[in-house]
Structure 1
Amino acid sequence: MPNRVSEEELPILESIINIRNRLQALKKDREHYIKSSAVTEIYDEVTELVKKLIEIRDQSAESPTSDNRVNAVFDDVFQLLSLFFMAVGKNKESPATYAQLATLKQCLDHLNESGVYTIDELTPYKNRLMDMKRIINNDEVNKAIAEPHLKLLNKKLISCEKVLNQLLDSGLNLSDDLAPIHHRLVQIKRELGAIGARTDPDKISDIRPYQDELRSIDSKRVDGKFMAPDGSIPPGQAQVIGLLEECYEDAHEIIASQNNVSETLKPIYDRLIELKASLERLALTHRWTSRETDLWTYQLQLSEIDNMRKDGKFYDDEGNVPEGQTVLLYLLHKCYRLVYKILSSSEPIAEPLIPIHNQLHTVRRFLNEIKKFGGPFTSRELYPYQMKLASIDNMRVDGKFLDEDGSIPEGQGIVMALLNECYDILFELKADIVDEN
């Protein structure tokens, strides 16, 4: 439990809890679009509270502990606000990076913990981190973000960069001669985790080919070492051999625990299976069915499960490490990656423009399909698409798409670019129109 809050900080705690409750209520409101002005207003309130908190702590003789409850609630609020900024299309503003940085850090920590990754797989994380760094630096230069929040974001950014650099350095220590073996072992470990998470009875037989392949890889060692073609011992032995042994252990554990996990870990397993299934559905449908703020619930549950681990393991009530660790860790890491994938795919488009954006996506897909199969076409065949684009175009007022309050929501450029692209494809198709007579 977080430590007791000092009397000086109690008013701050009450205020920030109230703001968190308001954000949660706003998140649940499905009858109205989230207004950008409402999000900005709450953000300004939070910024003022942070400034007051800093003043109080500057005058205090005691430093707050890491598990201070005020800090925990502020973290919740910044996470929620970050998702709200994304929901209203403000993805290119610094507050929107908070939740992404937190999720990215979880993904990197798990990669660092497991050692199951390749250098190529780190590239998307590196690029995403650079994108967020540019957003934060740009707001810093333009003084578009309050100093306390800037420090907090930079702290999270540096924390992510530190873990990423550790992963990159570790990968660079691997010689080119061992890279193919390491890459295959990474694949095997992940595939074993996926098999372990299955509930069908055939999964045990699916493990056998992997065991045979592991033995084949193991047989390439000479006196316990993997050798280079010239007979030398390439660097990265510990990394590859350690991963090989982990694959052996995972295969053995899955076979030994045919019921997936021990009974003591079954509740955690069931929760993770349910979370994974929900996130996989969300990854496919979030463009049409959800807001970024919907991820808040998943993040809370994953954090709660992750915090049950000690030294990377799930323990039972007696302090033992039950069977099923491989499966649970695979599911936990998979869920975090799904959350990150959904956040990363979020486009800077406000909620009122999402239906228009989705319609244009659909029109573009159909037009590209028609273009792929080729002409000639008749005017009648292209008429529905022309009418649909015209109806969307007519929704604009003075060249802008407006929301129900007459405001100009974020994402105009993206939607207009998509509309123009559809018109361009349609124009190309019209060149192949033939006379119906």
Structure 2
Amino acid sequence: MGTPTVPANETAILQRLVTIRERLTAIKQDRSTYIKSSDISSLYDQLIAEVRKINHIREQPGLRDEQNRVDVVLDDVFQLLSLSLLTIGLTRTAPATYASLTTVKRLLDHLHESRVYSENDLKPIQDRLNEIKGIIERDDPTESSEIIQLIRAKASVCEHSLRELFDSLAVVSPELAPILQKLVSIRRQIVSVGSMPKLHMSELKKLQEELRNIENQRVDGNFLSPDGNIPDGQNVLNGLLEECHNVLNDFFARKELVADSLRPIYDQLVEMKNQLEGMMLTHRWTLRETDLYNYQQKLQAIDDMRVNGSFLDEDGTAPEGQAVLLYLLRRCYALIYRLLVSSEPVSEALMPIQNQLSTVRKCLMEVKRMGGLSSTRELYPYQMKLASIDNLRVDGKFMIGNAIPEGQGLLNALLAECFDLCHELRVEMEEDQADD
């Protein structure tokens, strides 16, 4: 179904939202300067004004659940704004959680669809949702009630979906949870190996052997408890075991990784997966959270191409390679989620300083672990580096031009810890020399 036509009384709102989106996009793409808090705050205030107008218009009976192009653009704007807030270090604000909630919702939808998960997959998501709930419910007088209401509704949808997943696991006895977790892990490893351009038969055979070992634990088709009883959840485990064998057999029998008609989608997903995995290694130095917007948009567009859960060709049939594409799609979502969660409450303008301090701290901790100093000269490089960083501060603050970026508390604490470590190392060395 197409998106409903925008009513006349929302046309002007749509145009202003598009303008805000274009401005946020321009800020995101400008790599010649750091994203400024003042620019984002100004656009955020404009967004709040438009949300209030939408709520006022839709207060009429029957219009509260109206969805049209205004809502699509509003979602885009919120995504960009959320990522921009993460970039400038405002990770503990309610609107900054929007991007995480959007990705969490996609992950939960895929878990529902795949039915391949264990409590180990759900607990981190539950912890993250609890953290977000704490941010939303925090009594912040500066936050717009309309924005809090919108974020709270999105979080509520995720919590409901998560409860359903936990409920579906409740049929599996705790005694069978380790086997379930092992089967879930094997299932993912099978598809991970099978998604590689070159099929590694030896790896698949190892996984097949692991499956057989689990299968041999059954007695008359059932997994038993230590006291010989038959715990609940047999159907779930046996179904997952059978699915693992089916996927393995598909990979053993296949001639092509994916059908030719699905090759363009496969190539896009592999490229995105490789790029996101690269970001996982270098994100502390190179990641601007707003960069994730393009990946989110591309993934959602690919995800929305599916019909009843499958990618179809021109004839309307589901060609070979569905499991591979779904694995790559879900892997990309998971990588984006991890990058969002790992975002630190420091503005990108101060990230170079934080990285330097983190490196100095790591080196000092290593010196301490290896037994300390043998002479004061070993401490000079660290002291000089810390002094140069300390001299960057103006009245105790790290300034960028006339602005005071987010993350002052974290950087000052890190700097103080490095100075303390230097002092401790010097004292320990002097005490050792006195004992000698």
Contact 2:367 2:373 in 1 (8 A): no
Comparing 326-335 and 221-230, the one that deviates more: 221-230
- Residues 257-336 of structure 1 mapped to structure 2, 5 A cutoff: 257-336=254-333
The one of 375, 398, 401 aligned to 1:401: 398
Counterpart residue number, 1:164 = 162
Amino acid at match of 1:415: L
- Residues 236-247 of structure 1 mapped to structure 2, 5 A cutoff: 236-247=233-244
Contact 1:375 1:432 in 2 (8 A): yes
Distance 1:335 1:152 in 2: 26
Distance 2:372 2:179 in 1: 49
Structure 1 position 377, deviation (Å): 2.3
With over 3 angstroms needed to count, the CA separation of the structure-2 counterparts of 1:59 and 1:166, relative to structure 1, is closer
With over 3 angstroms needed to count, the CA separation of the structure-2 counterparts of 1:375 and 1:51, relative to structure 1, is closer
Once the two structures are superposed, residues 377-416 of structure 1 have per-residue CA deviations (whole angstroms, 9 ceiling, x without a partner) of 2222210110000111111111111121x22211111111
Distance 2:239 2:252 in 1: 20
Comparing 368-377 and 384-393, the one that deviates more: 368-377
The one of 416, 419, 425 aligned to 2:415: 419
Counterpart residue number, 1:363 = 360
Counterpart residue number, 1:150 = 148
Counterpart residue number, 2:198 = 200
Counterpart secondary structure, 1:243: helix
Distance 1:288 1:301 in 2: 24
Distance 1:84 1:62 in 2: 31
Verify: 1:17 aligned to 2:18, yes or no: yes
Comparing 204-213 and 294-303, the one that deviates more: 204-213
Amino acid at match of 1:421: E
Distance 2:116 2:413 in 1: 40
Once the two structures are superposed, residues 180-225 of structure 1 have per-residue CA deviations (whole angstroms, 9 ceiling, x without a partner) of 2211101100110110111224x12321222233233334434443
Amino acid at match of 1:119: E
TM-score of the pair, normalised by structure 2: 0.94
Counterpart residue number, 1:373 = 370
Counterpart secondary structure, 1:255: helix
Counterpart residue number, 1:31 = 32
Counterpart residue number, 1:429 = 425
Counterpart secondary structure, 2:305: coil
Comparing 361-370 and 129-138, the one that deviates more: 361-370
- Residues 217-236 of structure 1 mapped to structure 2, 5 A cutoff: 217-236=214-233
Counterpart secondary structure, 2:393: coil
With over 3 angstroms needed to count, the CA separation of the structure-2 counterparts of 1:269 and 1:42, relative to structure 1, is same
Once the two structures are superposed, residues 42-86 of structure 1 have per-residue CA deviations (whole angstroms, 9 ceiling, x without a partner) of 0110111111122223358656654x1110000000010001111
- Residues 134-149 of structure 1 mapped to structure 2, 5 A cutoff: 134-138=134-138, 141-149=139-147
With over 3 angstroms needed to count, the CA separation of the structure-2 counterparts of 1:10 and 1:237, relative to structure 1, is same
Counterpart secondary structure, 1:225: coil
Counterpart secondary structure, 1:351: coil
Comparing 408-417 and 70-79, the one that deviates more: 408-417
Counterpart secondary structure, 1:24: helix
Counterpart residue number, 2:179 = 181
Counterpart residue number, 1:118 = 118
Amino acid at match of 2:107: C
Contact 2:51 2:146 in 1 (8 A): yes
Verify: 1:214 aligned to 2:211, yes or no: yes
Quote the RMSD (CA, aligned, Å): 1.8
Amino acid at match of 1:144: T
Amino acid at match of 2:170: L
Amino acid at match of 1:137: E
Amino acid at match of 2:198: D
Verify: 1:340 aligned to 2:337, yes or no: yes
Contact 2:58 2:66 in 1 (8 A): no
Q: Percent identity?
A: 48
Distance 2:32 2:87 in 1: 15
Counterpart residue number, 2:100 = 100
Distance 1:27 1:82 in 2: 12
Contact 1:104 1:125 in 2 (8 A): yes
Contact 2:373 2:426 in 1 (8 A): no
Amino acid at match of 2:141: K
With over 3 angstroms needed to count, the CA separation of the structure-2 counterparts of 1:390 and 1:266, relative to structure 1, is same
Distance 1:349 1:63 in 2: 38
Contact 2:120 2:181 in 1 (8 A): no
What is the count of residue pairs matched by the alignment? 430
Distance 2:63 2:118 in 1: 44
Distance 2:415 2:363 in 1: 14
Structure 1 position 117, deviation (Å): 2.3
TM-score of the pair, normalised by structure 1: 0.94
Distance 1:343 1:171 in 2: 27
Distance 1:21 1:322 in 2: 38
With over 3 angstroms needed to count, the CA separation of the structure-2 counterparts of 1:375 and 1:46, relative to structure 1, is closer
Verify: 1:385 aligned to 2:386, yes or no: no
Contact 2:34 2:349 in 1 (8 A): yes
Contact 1:85 1:91 in 2 (8 A): yes
Contact 1:207 1:251 in 2 (8 A): yes
Contact 1:225 1:237 in 2 (8 A): yes
Distance 2:413 2:63 in 1: 55
